Structure 1
Amino acid sequence: MAVAGGPAGYVHAPIHESLTLSALLSVPGSSVTLGTRLESASNADWEYIRGVVWNDDPAGSLFRDSPGSNHTYALGVEWYPQYKRGAADWNPAQLSGERFYNVVGRSHYGDMQFLHCMASVAGEQPGDTKRKVMTWMEVMYKLSSGEDPQITPGALVEDTKLGDLLDTPPDFPGGSVPPRFQPLSYMLAPGSKFLALDIQKRALGSIFHVIQDSYAVGHTQRVPLNEADQASKGYRDAADMCIKLATLRFTGTSWSGPEGVEEFLDRNVFDLDHNATPANDRVTAFVMAPFVVNGNVIAPENVPSHVPRMASKTNFILVQSRGPLTPAQKEDLARSGAHLLEYLGNYTYLCRYEPHDLQPLRDKHYILNVSIYLRELKSTTALKQAVRTETDKEDYEVDCILHEAPGIVPLELAPQVAKAARVGEDNLEISANKIRLVINQKMLPAPAKLDFVNRIEEVHGDDVSNDMARGALFMAGEGGVDLLSSKYEGNGQIICVADTGIDLGTRGENPPDLTRHPAFKDRVIKIETVWEGDDGFDTHGHGTHVCASICGSGVFQDPKNSDIAIQGTAPASKIVVQSISRPYPSNPTLKSLRIPSDLSDKLFQKAYDAGIRIHSNSWGKPWTDEGGQFDYEDQATQIDRFVYGVPLSKVPPDHVHSGAANQTPASHHEDFVILIAAANNGDKPSDRGRWPSQIGAAAAAKNAITVGACGSNRPNDTFAFVQGVGAKAVTGINDTAVFSSRGPTKAPTNGSGVARGRIKPDVVAPGVAILSAASRALAPGNRSRELNGVSVDNDWIFKSGTSMSTPLVAGCVALLREALEDLYGNKSPSSALIKALLVNGAVNFSGKLGPGFGYDYEQGFGRVIVDSSIAMIRNGTFVDGRGARGGDSCSGSTRFDVPGLVQTGSGSERRYESGDLAIPAGIGRCRLVATLAYPDPAGAALQNSMNLIVISGESFRHGNMGRHGGDGFDNINNVEKVLWDNLPGPTFKVIVEIANNWEPHLPASFAVAWDLREMAKL
């Protein structure tokens, strides 16, 4: 199905609609005006579109028609069950006696598959299929043109040739749907309330659908006239044939006679090859669910028919199973040579496959379809959109991301990339898994032809995206607990900050210049620079402000009012600064933010090797309406890969210890906490209806803590500090900052066919009018000193943004690590445990999804309240499930460390249970809050899956499913939270189950934290 309707109304790509509009725009007489788009099409235009959709929706259940509108999508709650039931109704092993009453089932699985240019049953002769198609085309064309007085909107179905075509077998009792005794208008617009029906337009639209489907690989096998045709040619052929058919229609050409429509279709569209064979199951049963690759929506209807059926020129394929792969099925695929590389959604996997013959995979009972990995899928949709719209831009800086597979070594393959792109090898920037280059847009298709290239994405620049803030994070009020955190200030903790530098510091350890700034005395261990020529000076002012929000301590001197003591959230911690400012060659005193291509090598690994376990990043992508929301791109991939590593299952056993540079799986760093700003794009889209979500790129990483911004208690106008009598905080502490980027992330289509993104941001913290240290590299009159409010002390400056929120949360992470070490001697808690504690302590105040969820897409899981998190550490209401790929299943360092979960293990190995936990007597009305977090392999879709279950009395709740989630589980997020008010039993139990794992025989890491809170304190 390649129309936009379906569950939730927006599941599928509108392929048929778009092809139909593009054809009609090119034909005088169609009444569709130039410039019409799907969202701007009139009711009259939509009558064509409703016709082309009808073949997929002959019951008319994908739309809610009203007297004045014909293009309001329904929820699909009627259509989808009919579609699913159709597969069972038309199962050859046991045909249902009700099958002819389900017209959606007849169209997609039964005797009416000619509507999609498909045979009705395996073994049907090509001539019979063509006869059915041509019969339908004849009646619809004559209905559209009005040339036959016997075929009108009021003519009964049984009085046309369709009477026999749609008839039921002689031995079938009863009638059928569509009813043959009803008029053609009822068949094409069943039950419609729309008053301006145009059945002639709908008939023409139905013809278009058949033509378009005849060029889809899931329907008809075509032999290209030119074997050199590119895969994308199918789209063009379908559009061209619709244009030619429409031209014949609007120039008055009759169905019959020389050069008539019948002859055109017979010879140009449905001409049978002399080697045409009877239909087989591999064509008629091709029902691939949509999924997304690099933003490209893939379904059988938009895959051209002449894609090679063999993998003779590639080692990378797409495999779609009929359901979740079991561990045994994964092993079976591996024995057959198909090694899973990434899960793409809808049971579809990118695989490495060296044999040429794909048929052994197609023949497996659990496999739905197999295709080669098309080169057209390698360029991201964002890059394609940029090339289409930026007409004045010729050269693009791009990353060629390489497949993770043996023998793919970037340094060795760089010459091939340079040759394909027609650039010099000296112009390539080579890192662990990609090659960066500047390429002319005309040459962009060339690298995509290289088999070792996984995807090509445009390189976008990044932007840099507190006394009262500290109090907001510690405050016990709304949803907090009694103040505990004053004991912890980050002693023994080191945070690495990647930013624009710091103050007047210079490269090296214990930089002396910093001792002159009151905020950083004895707090900066080292300043590193990434780019040649950078001295570490913070000429932007951003990095200094960020660093002081973590560890700074000083006094804001106000001559007119009393002085104010200012501290970061972890004033006893120390920092290492990684300056990522790049000097301009022409003027080294001027710098711009430049994120290194290889985050792992240039930033994360250096910090990790120095013993640092917290990494704060206050930068993100700037917004453009043309590009819109960023995908899960390579920055997110690198973050997730650094934390999780590369699963051993992605590398064949004979390559694991081969010694080649990139043939040994990347190490995992599951105790490394990476924080990333959500970015400041919440108020940037000019059309919020089109772009309701903005979080993407690095901020979409699953294994990072993505931080959004809320307001503060300081008087502000939503962005800047304001002062004066009666000044108020327009954006208060519980409000989401207007600029804070919203989620969810862009999402692949999940197993049920409903597109949903992950919950982001994870948490929020104050980010409006934050007072912190000012870089002395900023001139006193620099504009940025007053952009977010006037400061009367030149050592301190106001700034707003998620850049300000992120370091505040980084300092809170330091406090949690300090508390774990202080109370239990735990020096290496997992990043999953830190996230679980942080999220479980947070409280969502925006509540956009309603009560009981505990999250939304503005504040994520809520505002950080670190006291609540520390209370859980003190009370010991958490566990850290230690998976260790290739090592011991449990470190056993504290009593809270438990074994990771093994998918193929026994019941106790697959499932963690807390045991029955008593609700204290006399606590009164209470709320249970529990959070599960676990690391996940790199990939836009969730690769592993665990489930959080809480049981009390005879009732249960599942993570992220709200109050009425029923039996459903979240298979989108690797963070799950349960909020449960007034538990029904005297005890409760926290359970974590593993549902899927890339490494089913090895323990998988997880962490879970829980807290029981009195309702009176919420």
Structure 2
Amino acid sequence: MVIPHRNEGDFSLRKKWIAALSATIMLSLAAGQYQAGAKHYGERKGDLEIEASEELSLKAQAKRSGQTSLYVIRFEGPIQQEWKDEVESFGIKLGDYLPDYSFVAKLPDRGDLRKVKRLDFVKDIVPFYPVSKVAPQLRKSLGTNREVEVAVVGFDKRVDMRRTVSRIAKDELSGDVEPLKIAKHISVARISGQGLEEVIQSEDVIAVLPVSKRKLHNDRAADIIKADELERTGYTGRGQIIGIADSGLDRGDAEDIHPDLAGQVLSLYAIGRKGDASDLDGHGTHVTASALGTGKASRGRYQGTAPEAKLVFHSMMNEEGELVGDPREIMSQAYEDGARIHSNSWGADDFGDYGLDSYLFDQFLWEHKDMTALVAAGNAGYEGYETIGSPATAKNVIAVGATENDRPRIGGEEADDPDAVADFSSRGPTIDGRLKPDLVAPGSYILSARSLVPDEDAYLQVLDDEYAYNSGTSMATPLLAGGVAQIRQFLREDLDYDDPSAALIKAMLISGADDLDEDMRMQGFGRANLRAAIETDFVDEKEGLLTGEGATYTVEVKDRSKPLAITLAWTDHPPSLAANRALVNDLNLTVTAPDGQTYNGNDFFRYPYDDEVDNLNNVEQVWIPEPDWGTYTVRVKAHNIPHGPQPYAIATSGKITREAQGSHVLKGSLETDRSVNRSDWHTIEAKSEGRLRVNTTWRGGATLSLTLYDDSGMPIAVVSKLKKGKTIALPLPDAGTYQIKIQLDKGYDTTYRMEVNYPDE
């Protein structure tokens, strides 16, 4: 769906937003005054590989003999739904997807191997041995007496793994096996290396990985400066609900709480210490007020970025100071209470690894594509690149790094360059090469509400009884979460768009971001700029694409004074925890400039910019520092969609005019009942003679036919058996009106998608 929001009727509505933000771009209202529009016009910086070789991507591969009923079936290329259907017709169960073009499969009868191998679209079948299930960090523990805390992941997502683990390793367990409530195929246990070796022999187990220790992502080693007051903006998060999970919330009582949070709390859950949601650390109160504090205790001087938003809060800290709780359960409760934004200023310093928490975030967000989750990148930046932690390594979250504040008189070198990424901010890429963090926002020396439960040592510095300073990516994350509330309010109130996808929010923020001329492994796509984000034009495509399908749009550029950013983002299917690469559904972005030059998404670093195709990231961008005037053609191609269809969003600093001239997508459904809808009709208007090119895809193994009629109703071309995904060319003898009839001839009910191209100008 294209949302046109640059017409004259929208101008006056947008003016109030722009005026309110004119002095406070890039969240400067929350962390000091920033130089507006500080965009650098050089090339993107970084050293990133975006094109991984096509190989079987397992965390651990083994050459070991033995009997097993688990195999990896490798297909010849991008996954077609009918291939999966045919393999499963043998009674074979397909489990997790593995890059590239593979599935873990359970074969009830090894005799089926020969039948499957004879299928022309099957490239190879290899055993999936037990050692391939173990994360590399656990390998040294196998067979020893050393205890490790692990997550055991089952093959079947409907099966509770607690019984399996308890039965197999009952003498090697320390304590109870705890299943995750909303992901019962995953159980957490403390187990000896001997028991671990027994667990991985089970055909019901697909992966075992370590459980990382979570920590709060504030940086208490930095010096203190006084942050600027948090000013009001034209949009204040009205009508939005933000979920936050953290250490606790002030005294733990919504009726007896810090003045800045009074009346803000819709729900307060105590999951760390049952019945006690108080903030023993002070961290949770600070980050919450940065997002939605009203500033009441300071007469409005120190307020959050969305002071009219409401709150659903989960207190995670237990008696030992540990952060506990299942992210899926936390976000599910927040979602049920109305939250569509979730802010998380915690994680593990596991140096780029895709851990259990990353998987749980991705799984929930795949199932709830309208929830935007933000996660602090971490504060291990002093140790260099590949220091970003889980769950910021999740594909579907917005991972937030931190920039410096602008307070050199107090902070010295640590606060004298607002265009610099803070030294403590964790860097990317992830272990599998993905670009993280996604964005950066102010994170140094943020002044916000303090909890009176801990003593003053909990903060970098205390201002008074109500406010204190802290720094870290923890502080950057809630500021941007409040910004997301502002954007969602803008979409609802100014554009009457109530249900934006998280992919759209991410694409808008990334296309609107200010490039800081830093290495992209430090800054991601840049520093958040709310005004530029709401000025983007966008498409929020919720029906999605299957393998081989595509869509084309045109973007007009009339202003050469700023870079052209075109961003494609999608909420991806969660990966297998046995896989070495996280991307599952692979969309590709291609942009053709008015002069004919082609750009591929994320191909920033090695000229020419059309020789690498990203198969690692679920965000792709084309960024042209000095664009030419004219029309750019934007193409989205579904290269490989094992779990489809795949929705997506596009946001651009240009103007989306419509689907590209001559290129249109026609969709519909066909049913076996002749009295209902066995055929569909579509009308096209050709502006001149030429050819009609049609590429049709559909679900399942149905047989479809296509007939082209002229304006008198006479058939001029008939295709009795369409080939899925293959382009056919049909003659258009003259300009005029034509009708396309598509019909279901054999098979079951199906939905189809036709991409048609013809002369229409």
Question: Structure 2-normalised TM-score?
Answer: 0.72
Gaps of 5+ in 2: 1-52, 218-224, 576-580, 656-761
Give the alignment of 1:720-735 within 5 angstroms: 722=411, 727=412, 729-730=414-415, 732-735=417-420
Partner deviation per Cα, 1:248-300 (whole Å, 9 max, x = no partner): xxxxxxxxxxxxxxxxxxxxxxxxxxxxxxxxxxxxxxxx975442x32x3xx
2:624 corresponds to:
980
* 1:95-129: CA deviation from partner (whole Å, max 9, x where unpaired): xxxxxxxxxxxxxxxxxxxxxxxxxxxxxxxxxxx
CA contact (8 A) 1:470 1:569 kept: no
Partner of 1:772: 448
Match in the other structure for 2:647: 1005
Structure-2 change in CA distance of 1:767 and 1:417 (3 Å) = farther
Structure 2 residue 394 is the aligned partner of structure 1 residue 634: no
Match for residue 512 of structure 1 among 231, 255, 261: 255
Are residue 569 (structure 1) and residue 301 (structure 2) matched? no
Residue 430 to residue 947, structure 1, CA distance change in 2 (3 Å):
closer
Map 1:475-494 → 2, pairs under 5 A: 486-494=233-241
Partners of 1:530 and 1:838 in 2: how far apart?
A: 32
Q: Residue 269 of structure 2 corresponds to which residue in structure 1?
A: 528
Q: CA deviation at 1:328?
A: 4.1
Closer/same/farther in 2, CA of residues 738 and 338 from structure 1, 3 Å limit: farther
Mapped to 1, the partners of 2:137 and 2:174 lie a distance apart of: 26
Equivalent position of 1:605 in the other structure: 332
- Offset at 1:370? 1.7
Quick one: distance in 2 between partners of 1:731 and 1:784?
25
Of structures 1 and 2, the one with the larger relative CO (CA 8 A, separation 6+) is 2
Q: Distance in 1 between matches of 2:288 and 2:174?
A: 40
State the distance in 2 between where 1:832 and 1:577 align: 24
Change (3 A) 1:405 1:594: closer
Corresponding residue for residue 394 of structure 2: 701
1:600 alignment partner AA: R
2:324 to 565, 571, 595: 595
Please list the CA deviations of residues 288-341 of structure 1 after superposition, one character each: whole Å capped at 9, or x if unmatched.
975442x32x3xxx624xx24xxx642x21123443344443333333444443
- In the TM superposition, residue 791 of structure 1 has moved relative to its aligned partner by 3.3
8 Å CA contact 2:79–2:642 kept in 1: the answer is no
- Say whether 1:911 aligns with 2:550: yes
Aligned mates of 2:228, 2:82 — CA distance in 1: 52
CA distance in 2, matches of 1:352, 1:742: 39
1:376 aligns with 2:131: yes
Offset at residue 460 of structure 1 (A): 2.1
Amino acid at match of 1:736: V
Matched, 1:879 2:539: yes
Question: 1:605, CA displacement in angstroms?
Answer: 0.9
Change (3 A) 1:404 1:694: farther
Deviation at 1:833, TM superposition (A): 0.6
Write the mapping of 1:659-674 to structure 2, written as runs, cut at 5 A: 668-674=367-373
* Closer/same/farther in 2, CA of residues 469 and 837 from structure 1, 3 Å limit: farther
Q: Give the Cα–Cα distance (whole angstroms) in 1 for the partners of residues 270 and 546 of structure 2.
A: 42
Measure the CA separation in 2 of the matches of 1:928 and 1:630. 30
For 2:406, which of 696, 706, 713 is the aligned residue?
713
CA distance in 2, matches of 1:319, 1:805: 44
Aligned residues: 587
For residues 923-951 of structure 1, the C-alpha deviation after alignment (integer angstroms, 9 at most, x for no partner) is: 45442111111111111431111122222
Is 1:936 the counterpart of 2:572? The answer is yes
More strand by share: 2
- TM-superposed deviation, 1:713: 1.2
After superposition, the Cα gap between the structure-2 partners of 1:945 and 1:578, relative to the gap in structure 1 and judged at 3 Å, is: same
Superposition pairs of residues 97-108 of structure 1, within 5 angstroms:
none
Kept after mapping to 1: 8 A contact 2:405/2:415: no
Contact kept in structure 2, 1:696 and 1:746, CA below 8 Å? no
Deviation at 1:530, TM superposition (A): 1.0
The residue aligned with 2:436 is 760
Counterpart of 2:287, as a letter, is V
- In structure 1, the partner of 2:636 is 992
Corresponding residue to 1:614 among 341, 354, 357: 341
Within-5 A mapping of 1:429-508: 429=179, 431=181, 432-465=184-217, 468=227, 486-506=233-253
| Mapped partners of 1:807, 1:459: distance in 2 | 25
Taking the aligned partners of 1:338 and 1:737, their CA distance within structure 2 comes to 51
Contact kept in structure 1, 2:236 and 2:308, CA below 8 Å: yes
Match of 2:480 in 1: 809
| AA in 2 matched with 1:713 | D
State the AA in 1 paired with 2:193.
Answer: Q
Counterpart contact for 1:524–1:575, Cα < 8 Å: yes
Query: Aligned partners of 2:463 and 2:436: how far apart in 1?
Result: 37
Q: In the alignment, what sits opposite 1:675?
A: 374
User: Could you list the per-position Cα deviations for residues 196-233 of structure 1 after superposition, in whole angstroms to 9, with x for gaps in the alignment?
Assistant: xxxxxxxxxxxxxxxxxxxxxxxxxxxxxxxxxxxxxx
Choose which of 911, 933, 958 in structure 1 pairs with 2:600: 958
1:395 to 123, 147, 153: 147
After superposition, residues 348-363 of structure 1 pair within 5 angstroms as 348-357=102-111, 358-363=113-118
> How far 1:731 moved relative to its partner?
5.5
Change (3 A) 1:468 1:564: farther
SS at match of 2:636: strand
Deviation at 1:536, TM superposition (A): 1.0
1:742 aligns with 2:427: yes
**In 2, Cα distance between the equivalents of 1:630 and 1:972?**
14
Find the aligned partners of 2:162 and 2:131 in 1 and give their Cα distance.
Answer: 25
Q: CA separation in 1, counterparts of 2:393 and 2:140?
A: 21
Distance change in 2, residues 1:917/1:461 (3 Å): closer
C-alpha distance 580-425 of structure 1, shift in aligned 2 (>3 A): closer
Give the Cα separation in 1 of the matches to 2:57 and 2:239. 45
What is the root-mean-square deviation of aligned Cα atoms in Å?
A: 3.0
What is the deviation of 1:762? 0.7
Whichever structure has more helix as a proportion of its residues is 1
Q: Show the counterpart of 1:822.
A: 493
Preserved contact between residue 881 and residue 901 of structure 1 (Cα < 8 Å): no
Deviation at 1:878, TM superposition (A): 0.5
| Aligned equivalents of 2:394, 2:209: Cα separation in 1 | 17
Give secondary structure in 2 for the equivalent of 1:879: strand
Give yes or no for contact 2:245–2:315 (8 Å, CA) kept in 1: yes
Q: Deviations over 1:159-207 (max 9, x none)?
A: xxxxxxxxxxxxxxxxxxxxxxxxxxxxxxxxxxxxxxxxxxxxxxxxx
In the TM superposition, residue 697 of structure 1 has moved relative to its aligned partner by 2.6
Unaligned runs of 5+ in 1: 1-287, 475-484, 558-562, 585-591, 624-628, 645-667, 748-756, 849-855, 884-899, 905-909, 1014-1018
**Deviation at 1:541?**
0.5
Structure 1 SS opposite 2:533: helix
Change (3 A) 1:387 1:619: farther
Q: Is the 8 A contact 2:512 2:529 kept in 1?
A: yes
**C-alpha separation between the residues in 1 aligned to 2:135 and 2:451?**
39
| 1:784 counterpart residue number | 458
Give the C-alpha shift of residue 799 in structure 1: 0.8
Residue among 518, 521, 534 paired with 1:870: 534
Matches within 5 A, 1:77-92: none
Deviations 1:580-613 (A, max 9, x none): 01124xxxxxxx13232x3212x01111111111
Query: Deviation at 1:982?
Result: 3.6
Q: CA distance change for structure 1 residues 430 and 902 in 2, over 3 Å: closer, same or farther?
A: closer
Q: CA deviation at 1:470?
A: 8.3
